[in-house]
Structures are given as structure tokens and as C-alpha cells.
Structure 1
């Protein structure tokens, strides 16, 4: 489907949603005074225009200060549009029914008489507005509370080839911090305290430390450097870490930004794995940690990673963990390396919106990614997709809350 057609479909949907939102309010207020109806109509369109104007300004100037605040402004149309789309779902079928019934009556009525217009249901309009308020309330709650409502998830995994010395070994994964989205230092400081309370043996950060530029993380270096681990803390790069979504003055400026980001990993105290591996030894037994640069199966995401290079020389370790930011890498390449036992990814965020209940999970992102949240298994290989600690775009989370994952490895 061409980009032009997608744009036209979006515009048509936008116009319909705005119109039906207005029609629902008109119907509900049909018995009010003319002054009230006029004020409501003016208020509706002024509010709509203001929201879109502020969001447009925020998006056009998003790379200038205060960028996190502009993220909130840019999300306002999404919140209002979600409500109006629900109203559209309720009222459009009713209008189609009304038009069909009107057409039938026009045919059946005797010549020279009018079929008459069928009025819109006030009850249905009220119901549409009430139901439409649910996504509005959810999305506002997601911004006010959900964005930093950190959750610790615990996963126990059993492997027959895990060296005995690593039985009970505790790994902690965080991902997608997107430090450029935070308006203050407090949320990440609180997250660090929760991370340290888990007393993990080994900590991983699986990409997207920033949104776009290296400087975004620098005010958080002090907090992130407080993460404790008995062993080195390993990190990798995600698609947002390369500066690919910024218009740079020159290729040299882009390279300098990436180098600065790598330096910031070192300042935090993390060991950044760039298509390489590191072996961890306990009582003479070893496991290998492999880390690749971003590699996404979808065309719009970069394929910087070199798994063959990271894997080379790791054969001496009977158990291997791979850090790869994009979960689509697992199905495209990783499963062809049967000695990689566990892959840890992030990237999807669970789209920061969905339903996440025991035994049932749903998010729109599942239509783009086969593996998008939680644990997956193929044969003896496992993939875990962490839904992220930070947020991007919509400055909130509904359903898929920010996640700290703790794995306990056991020998089967």
C-alpha cells in the first residue's frame, strides 16, 4: 500500500472521527438551549484546533528544549482521537442503517410523499460518549501513573546444559530506557533502587538508552552508575542509539554522537558489546554472553549487527546468552544457531498499550511482530522480549507497564 494511500485513509478516518465526535455532542445536547448548543459547538472546534496546533508545534520543534514536555503535547491528539474513534464505531453503523432505511422508505412510499429523516438515537450517542471516555481515561492514567509504575517480573528457566556452578544464577534485564523522554531524574533513581533490591548476579541492558542523541542520558549517568552487580554489567545498542532519526549537519557529526554515546556507556560503568562475546567463569565452568548491534528483520530498521562475529570463538562455553535488541532477529537468524540457549530482546515496548492479563495478552504491536512481549520457545531455545523501562512517543503506558525482568537459571 502506497504512502499516499495510507495518508489519504488516515485523513478520511480523522475527518470522520472528528465529525462524529461533534455529532454525538450535538445529539446529546439537542434539548438544551440554543446558547448552550452554540457554546458547545464553538468549544468543541476551538479545543480540537488548539490540541492539533499545539501538537504540530511540539512535533516540529521536538528536538529543542523542553523536548520531554513537547512529547506530552504531541500525545494529546492521540488521546482525543482514540475517544472519537470509539464514538465513530458506535454511530457510523447507525447512520448506515438510517440511510438504508431511508432508501427503503423512499422506494416504498407512494409517489409525491416524503420518506422523512430518521433521527439519530440520543441513547446511542450518550453510550458512545461514555464508552469513548474509557480510552481517554486509560491514556491519561497511563501518562500520570503508568509510565513510571515499574514492575518486577520473575521468570525461572531450566536448561539441561547449564553448568552446575550456575544453578540458581540470577540475571536481571532492563531495556529501552529512552532517557530523553524523562522530565526529571526521580523515576530512574527509583527504578535503580528497585533493580538493586533484586540482588542479581548479572545485569543486562538490551538497547535504546536514548531516543536520538547521546546527551539525553548524561543527566542520568550518576543514577544509572549506581546499579550494582557482582559481575560486569553488559549493554548493547538499539535502533534509537545510532542517531538515525536525526538530520545531522554531516556524517562526522553523526559518528561523533555515536562515539559520545559509547563513551557514556563506559561512564555509567557498562561494558558495551559490539558484535562480540564475553565468557563468565564460576568454579572452572563457563557461560558466554554474546552481544550484537541492532539487527531488525523489517526493512525500516537497521541491520548493523553481525551475529557470526559475536558467536565466533564462543564454542568453549556450553551455555550461551545472546543480547539482541530487536526480537525479529531471533526468528530471522538466531534460531539457526542452536547452541544459543537464551536470547534477550526489547524494542517493541508492548506498544505501551494493550491488555496484559494472566493467560491473555493483546496489543496492536502483535500485528507487526511475531514475538513482542514475554517468553517464547522454539525447541530448546528461548527468547524473552522485555517491554522496556522507559517510553517513547506516547508518554505513558497502559497494560504493558515498565518492566524489570529477573531470571533465575536452573539446571534441569
Structure 2
């Protein structure tokens, strides 16, 4: 009997069955407690396979190291997966809003950084995996397994370790330095038949503060000082004030109340503001959370537009400011917005601005039915907080998820006046606690008459 269990198939079968039982139990637990996150459980299984395949290839580089060094490396290698597993288990017992910021933000954030580095590490290892697959297939059909070692294989494995370490170092810098390196993006819009009263109007846009991710209020103070130094006429905020609950605004109200704009500060809600990403004991608790957030906006003097509009009179000109609740063209995000309600009985002004958190709304509905809006302002994408914007290059993984993921887009209007969409890269962060290449943004938009 002992000999049977020492056979190769049982060495793999027993751990596989145990792992399957564990994953199934965890999935059922998440379905009962936080069904929104249950889909992440099979993803952990994929991460395990991913980790194992890479570790199997690079651990051979540690043969000349001492046993303590090898064991330490293996423990560190599996730590990110263990952290994500414990985090997922913890959120099924403790609501996210009750967790300390370090446990809720930086611990899973470091695990995410490790996996991003491992994905980079995978690039030079792909040829190694292909050679190993070829060797297995050849051995199975012809009984002769080609060698999968040599200087070239060793070089690729070392290169994987090198670029993976380099990527992790960059992500660490992104989470300590670039995360609060605020960048001002200045845009001038050339508008046909713009009234004289609106010539030179300065609009500052902020988006995606995600206050629950800020470990200190000091960087936010620097950002608001930069906003006020721009001397805006109007300031707008395009959603995602918090991550999970209104409790995250504590300690930031006195700073946000310092925003100065003579024509007002206007805001809309983002997908994270509704409390949909954590568990609540009762529906009443979730409703109370929303009411607390609305009260917060009132306390700092920001006008929250919830499927509503505001007409701003500037001398003889009328500027229409409309704000729609979160409206997404994708099924992943709940749709609270109602443009018909927003525009009921409303006539367009001399210049018309729509605040809509998710940029997919622009193509899906605004351009189709509400082309009277000269400018739509959105956020949501964060530019994935990762990418390249230098030397004429503009790339981010966000481009594979969003048609419009950062910056200005122009669409010709049927009446000869252009429609503009501007997507702000966000001031805060979530998931990965940093920024690499896509810096936190403050947008200054200036209106000018088109000659």
C-alpha cells in the first residue's frame, strides 16, 4: 500500500483533491457572505498554477545557495498568494470598512505588486515553457525527451529574475514617490460662437479621490493648494470620493472645504460611492452610509448633482452644468444614472457641461441622444495607474478595457459644433497603491472662442 501512494500519480492526486476541496469550500463561503467577490476564488487557483510554473523554472538557480536561503526564497515567493487568500477570507468575516488601512490597502497592494512583477518575469520564461512542452510531447510520442537545459535556458531564467526584480523596484518607487507626484494637464477648448462672457473661463477637474487609500492628509493638502493656485472659476469632481464606505472621509473634510471657485464646486457620484463593494448588515445601514456621504458633500460646500442640473449665469451667458449618477455601458458596474430624468424640462445653455463618472457613457448614450452637451467630463479609468506617457508615446493597459481612457477626445457635432470628452486620470488610487507612468492628475480646461 505504501508503494502505491509513493507513485507519481498519487503524489499529485492527493494534494489536488485537497486543494479542490479547499477552493470549493472557500467559494461557497464567499457566495454566502460576499457573492460579488466569489468569482475571485477560482482566480486564486489560477494564480497558484502560475506561481508553481514559474517557481519550478527559477528555483534551479538557487541550487548553489544554502538551504536557509532557498527556504526563505520559497516562503517569500508564496507569501503574496497567502496574503490574497487570507485577505479574501478576512473580508468574508470582517467588512472592508472595518479594517485598518494597512490591512485593507497596503497588504493586498504589495501582493498585487509582486504579481505584476511576476507577470513581467514571465516574458523571458515563455520560450523556456515552450521548449519544455515540446520536450514532453516528444517524450510521450517518441519515447525520447530532448534536453531542456543549457546556457540559453540559464540566460532566460536569469533574465526573468532580473527584469522581475527591476519591475518590483519600479512599483515600489511608484507607491512611495510617484503616487503623490501631482501633474497639471492644461487643455484649451476652441468653441464655435462662444459668448464673450465665457471667453477664458477656467474649469478645474478632479476625479477619483478614493480617500480610503490615503494614509495621510498632507499630500491631499498639497493637491488642493495646487488647485487653488490655478485660480479656477469652476471646480468639478467626477466621482469616487471613497472606496467602500463614507467613513473614509474622516479627517479630509477641512482640506476639501478649502477649494475656492467663485462660480461653485460641482460633483457627481462614482461607482465606488454607493457602498456596493462591501457587505452591510442591513439595507438600512447601506442607505445610512449613502446619506452620510451626501451630508459630507454639503459640509464641504460642494454641490452634488444626482441626475440633476444647475444653470450658472455669467453676465448674459447661460452655462448648463448637468450631473448624472453612475452610468456604465458595461454590466460590471451598476447603472444608477438617468439622463431622461436629468434633462426633464431642461433647455441647453450657451455652453453645456455634463459630469458623468464613467467614460463609456459618452459613446453609448450621450453622443446618441444628448449631443447638446459641448463637454463631457469623466474619470473612472485611472489610466490603470500604470503606463507610458513620454516622448510622444501614450499607452496603458487601460486602452484594452476603455475606448477613451485618458485625455481629450473630439467628436464633430451634427450642428457643426464639436463635442468634447475629457477623461481625468484620477488623483487617488485603489488596488495598486501607487502610480507608474500615469501620474495623479489635476486638469485645467480653458474655454476660448474658435476663430
Report how far residue 66 of structure 1 moved.
1.5
Note if contact 2:382-2:425 (Cα within 8 Å) is conserved in structure 1: yes
Aligned to 2:50: 16
Q: Structure 2 residue aligned with 1:172, among 192, 200, 204?
A: 204
Q: CA deviation at 1:312?
A: 3.2
Q: Name which of 383, 387, 390 aligns with 1:354.
A: 387
Judging changes above 3 Å, is the alpha-carbon distance between structure 1 residues 316 and 78 closer, same or farther for their aligned structure 2 residues?
closer
Q: Which residue of 1 aligns with 2:18?
A: none
Q: Residues 181 and 392 of structure 1 are in contact (CA less than 8 Å); yes or no, is this contact kept in structure 2?
A: yes
- Partners of 2:404 and 2:108 lie apart in 1 by 28
The gaps in structure 1 that reach 5 residues or longer are none
1:291 aligns with 2:323: yes
Aligned residue in 2 for 1:404 = 442
Matched pairs, number:
401
Q: 2:60 aligns with which of 15, 18, 26?
A: 26
Match of 1:41 among 42, 66, 70: 70
Separation in structure 2 between the aligned mates of residue 306 and residue 4 of structure 1, nearest angstrom? 30
Aligned to 1:146: 178
Whether 1:86 aligns to 2:116 is no
Q: Do the aligned partners of 2:113 and 2:432 also contact (CA within 8 Å) in 1?
A: no
Q: Following the alignment from structure 1 to structure 2, what is the Cα–Cα distance between the partners of residues 127 and 41?
A: 19
Matches of 2:246 and 2:146, distance apart in 1: 65
CA–CA separation in structure 2 for the residues paired with 1:5 and 1:276: 35
State the partner residue of 1:119. Answer: 149
Structure 1 range deviating more: 65-74 or 319-328: 65-74
2:372 to 339, 345, 349: 339
- Cα deviation, 1:129-181, whole Å, max 9, x if unaligned, reads 11122321221111111221111110111110322211111000000101111
Cα deviation for residue 105 of structure 1 reads: 9.1
Q: Distance in 2 between matches of 1:357 and 1:351?
A: 16
1:324 to 325, 350, 356: 356
**1: distance between equivalents of 2:410 and 2:254?**
37
In structure 1, the partner of 2:347 is: 315
Distance in 2 of aligned mates of 1:69 and 1:226: 30
Q: 1:108-140, CA deviations, whole angstroms, 9 ceiling, x for partnerless residues?
A: 99xxxx766342522222111111223212211
Deviation at 1:293, TM superposition (A): 0.9
C-alpha separation in 2, matches of 1:312 and 1:245:
31
The correspondence for 2:397, drawn from 364, 369, 374, is 364
Equivalent residue in structure 1 for 2:432, among 394, 399, 403: 394
Runs (4+) of structure 1 exceeding 4 A deviation are 3-10, 101-109
TM-score by length of 1: 0.90
* TM-align CA RMSD: 2.5
Separation in structure 1 between the aligned mates of residue 278 and residue 132 of structure 2, nearest angstrom? 50
**1:163 — aligned with what?**
195
Mapped contact 1:68–1:182 kept (Cα < 8 A): no
2:423 corresponds to: 385
Consecutive unaligned residues of structure 2, counting only runs of 5 or more, are 1-36, 413-417
In structure 2, distance between residues paired with 1:404 and 1:70: 26
1:53 counterpart residue number:
82
